[in-house]
Amino acid sequence: MAIQTSYVWDHEMLAIQTWAYQCQACNKTVYLVDKLTADNRIYHKACFRCHHCKGTLKLGNYNSFEGVLYCRPHFDQTFKRTGSLDKSFEVPLANLEHGWLEQNKVATMFAGTRDKCLGCKKTVYPIEKVAVDGSIYHRTCFKCTHGGCVISPSNYIAHEGKLYCKHHHIQLFKEKGNYSQLEGESDMREKVNATVVTAES
85: Cβ–Cβ under 8 A, 6 or more apart, which residues? 65, 79
The pTM assigned to this predicted structure is 0.35
pLDDT, greater one: 106 or 169: 169
- Residue 159, pLDDT score: 73
Domain range summary for the chain, segments of one domain joined by +: 21-81, 126-176
pLDDT digits (tens, 9 = 90+) for 135-183: 888 888 888 888 788 887 778 887 777 888 888 888 877 776 665 555 5
| Strand, coil or helix: 170 | helix
CA 149, 153, 155, 161 torsion-angle sign: positive
Reported as type and span, the H/E element at residue 107 is: helix 105-110
Q: Above pLDDT 90, what percent of the chain?
A: 4
**In this predicted structure, what is the pLDDT of residue 28?**
92
What's the confidence (pLDDT) of residue 109? 55
63: pLDDT strictly greater than 80 = yes
Cα 142 to Cα 136: distance, rounded to the nearest angstrom: 9
CATH (residue range 126-176): 2.10.110.10
Answer yes or no: same fold for 21-81 and 126-176: yes
Domain 21-81 CATH assignment equals 3.30.9.10 = no
Nearest Cα to 146, choosing from 158, 131, 130, 128?
158
